[in-house]
Amino acid sequence: MRLGLENDQQLLVDSFDEFFARESSPDRVRAAEAAGFDSGLWSALAATGALSLRVPPHLGGGGASLFDTCIVLERAGRHLATGPVAGAIVAGSLLAASGGGDYLNAAVDGCSVVTFVPAQLDADASRVLVEGGAHADAVILWRGDHLVLVARPEVIEPVSDLGAAGFAWWPTESGTALATGPEAGRLAAAGVAEWRILTAAALVGLAKRSLELAAEYASHRIQFDRVIATFQGIAHPLADAATEIEGARLLVWDAIWRAGQGQPDAAATFSMAFAWAAEAATRATGTALHTFGGYGLALEYDVQLHQRRAKAWSAVAGDPRSALLEVADGLWGESLTSLPEVGDVPIDFGLGEEAEAFRQQVRKFLADHPPASYGCDIRGGWDGHSVEFHRALASSGMAFANWPPKYGGLQKGPYEMTAMLQELYSSGVSLHPIANAQMVGQTILRFAQPELLDEVMPKLCRGEVITCLGYTEPESGSDVAAAKTRAVRDGDEWVIDGQKMFTSGADICQYVFLLTRTDPDAAKHKGLTMFLVPLNSEGIEIHPIHTLSGEKTNAVFYTGVRVPDRYRIGEVNGGMGVIGYALEIEHGGGGVGLFARAHADALDAAVEWARTNMSNGEPTLSDPVVRTRLARVATRARISALFNLQSLWRGAEGRPNRGEGPMSKLFSAEAYIEDSSDLVDLAAPVSLVSAGSAGALSDGELEFGYRLSAATSIYGGSSEIMRSIIAEAVLGMPRSRN
């Protein structure tokens, strides 16, 4: 897996940022508004070779990869480059592929402006609205089954437009055929796909810059005696927007990677990236403008330029949502969409050969030990845990596969762990007990005293014991440092009193990883100490709490519970360091992305229903409205999975956390909540039937998913906490929790 820019790509970023800052400054952008074209910028772009990046070197171009070209377009979007840059680059590709001759040479040299209309026109269309058409010397059109080069006619009709894109109406009856029949369709479809991915990249750059402007403004604007960035009503919508735009960037990268791999759903992902970037950029720039209040409406402020162009760039080829129908074709139909050659792809979303080899070992184990035969039930949460299966898994070394052999592990890395957890999840194994035991075990290996290691580790390694987490209290949810459960030293023992909430698994576990306050006079974060407390200790009472998702959790009361000092984990009053280490393991150590997987399961159930359910004599899946809704869910489920992979990669490679973990948690939870509701509506009323009842859809998957999704924005840190972290870490805004 490799999800970072290499030196060559970073150099490209830096050089084109410098170029566009000089040649497409805000003053230059404003000066070009009336004409919708900056001839100086165009000449400078041609001089850098940017307009001919996708033309092969033997024809005078740069022969750049699609990935590198997207980097350039993201920078162009960031600086609101005026002119049909994406259309011109695609036109160069098409001229090179079809023998464009003199027009190709003129386009490469920057002497002529040649662009591409990224939509198929009816064969009898008489005119078309062309981005940059007011200044273009030629336009390439996909008309019927012909790919046509139309030279600038004597009469065109320039128009004023939303994004100052130099639109003009061009007649379409004439022109020179570059290709006809299937070859024209292949070239043109590849051109549309290339234009979409380049435009998506440009929208990412444009939207990111608008959010930076808004965050900077909010961090200095005083209202009610405070900078408005400290108001969650300001910070949180910007955090949502930043997360959605990061999801769009990941989709652009994923589409190029999938095309490079020759994966069958690559064409669908190109359309996903464009449709989502259009939606997310429109929302982000609108949020940015709103942050400025009335000033955002003033033409002197740059944010309105971003807001207008986000919408205009998205709609150049028509309704961007129509791309979702092509997502549906690519995923659930027989898409014939051609894709451009992508060239070198320096990124990799795959887990790697070693992880895939380990995946096969896990599959063999699961075939020999079918989880269902042990009573494993993923929907049962902790209650779906099987002690016998866990022991069998431990004896194979897979329960703690990333531990050293000395402690019953296989010394596997996070990518291999992820492959294993994916297979366990798919086979119906409840992962909470396994993941908790793994995380707590690794933490006590780091911090526990030798006596405790000797007592606990052998039993953990054999799968004889599991652990739960005692963090949350009635008055301290996400704010774990506000814990009030007291631990008071009494000789060589500690006496613990207090209450914990939502201690899932406490009724079946043998130990609880317990956060306590040991110095009430110390600073909030400095008076805490961790313990591993045996749950059979006198003074512990466990009371069940049944939840909306059907999972049972617990309230646990501690009254005069005595534990020897050897059960202390880490230094006295050093609990935040211990819990921080545990959270690093939880967030970066090969998580399977349970929300993303559950999201995908709900989508699969809905698609299967749409395939088999009949409406007016046709499968429901043939309805364009249904296909569009399902495609949007598929897009968001893909983004959730990509966020999870990004967090995995950063943790595995030791990269600093720049808010990727909270963005993953926030997006996965909120998208799952919204989409699970939409899918229940889509397949209603059969989607309301619970598992085990007559006619339950996919064993009640949608009904269960709707109930389960409600917890995702709460467990593991609420969405509000995630938004505050994102606003600080990603947008550089001040704390918004005070």
- What is the pTM for the complete model shown? 0.94
* Averaged pLDDT, 158-182: 94
Q: Is the pLDDT at 584 greater than 90, yes or no?
A: no
Cα separation, 407 vs 463, in Å, equals 11
| 660-680 residue pLDDT tens | 989 999 999 999 999 999 999
Res 593 pLDDT > 80: no
Per-residue pLDDT of 401-435, as tens digits, reads: 988 888 889 999 999 999 999 999 999 999 889 88
- pLDDT tens, 509-563? 999 999 999 999 998 889 999 999 999 999 999 999 999 988 899 999 999 999 9
Residue 589 has pLDDT above 60, yes or no: no
Is the model's pLDDT at 232 over the cut of 50?
Answer: yes
Q: What is the pLDDT of residue 328?
A: 96
In order of start, what are the domains of the chain with their CATH numbers?
7-186 (1.10.540.10), 467-587 (2.40.110.10), 593-729 (1.20.140.10)
- Where residue 587 falls among pLDDT bands split at 50, 70, 90? low
Mean pLDDT of 157-175: 93
pLDDT interval class at 438 (50, 70, 90): confident
Could you write out the three-class secondary structure of 287-323? HHHHHCHHHHHCCCCCHHHHHHHHHHHHCCCCCHHHH
Per-residue confidence at 737, pLDDT binned at 50, 70, 90?
low
DSSP assigned state of 485: -
Return the ∠ at Cα 30 (arms to 24 and 36), rounded to 5°. Answer: 85
**Which residues have a Cβ under 8 Å from the Cβ of 445 and sit 6 or more positions away?**
403, 407, 453, 457
User: What pLDDT does residue 335 have?
Assistant: 66
Q: Would you state the pLDDT for residue 664?
A: 94
Q: Determine the Cα–Cα distance for residues 88 and 69; give it in Å rounded to an integer.
A: 12
Lowest mean pLDDT among 120-124, 282-286, 325-329: 120-124
Distance CA 682, CA 625 (A): 10
Stronger pLDDT, 582 or 220, i.e. the higher one? 220
Q: Which two tokens stand for residue 222?
A: 């005083």
What DSSP string describes 552-600?
EEEEEEEEEEEEEGGGEESSTT-HHHHHHHHHHHHHHS----HHHHHHH
Q: What is the mean pLDDT of the chain?
A: 93
pLDDT value, residue 486:
97
E-state strands within 300-409: none
Residues 6+ apart with CB under 8 A from 109: 46, 60
- Please state the rounded mean pLDDT for residues 328-345: 89
pLDDT in the model for residue 618: 95
Angle at 564 between CA 560 and CA 569, to 5 degrees: 105
β-strand partners of 170: 128
Percentage of the chain modeled with pLDDT above 90: 84
Q: Judge whether 82 and 37 are in contact, CB under 8 Å.
A: yes
DSSP 52: G
The pLDDT confidence band at residue 336, using thresholds 50, 70 and 90, is low
Element (H, E) at 147: strand 146-151
Q: Is the pLDDT of residue 590 over 50?
A: no
State the Cα–Cα distance between residues 505 and 476, nearest whole angstrom: 20
CB 693 within 8 A of CB 649: no
* pLDDT, tens only, 53-102: 999 999 999 999 999 999 999 999 999 999 999 999 999 999 999 887 78
Q: Label each residue of 57-114 as H, E or C.
A: HHHCCCCCCHHHHHHHHHHHHHCCCCCCHHHHHHHHHHHHHHCCCHHHHHHHHCCCCE
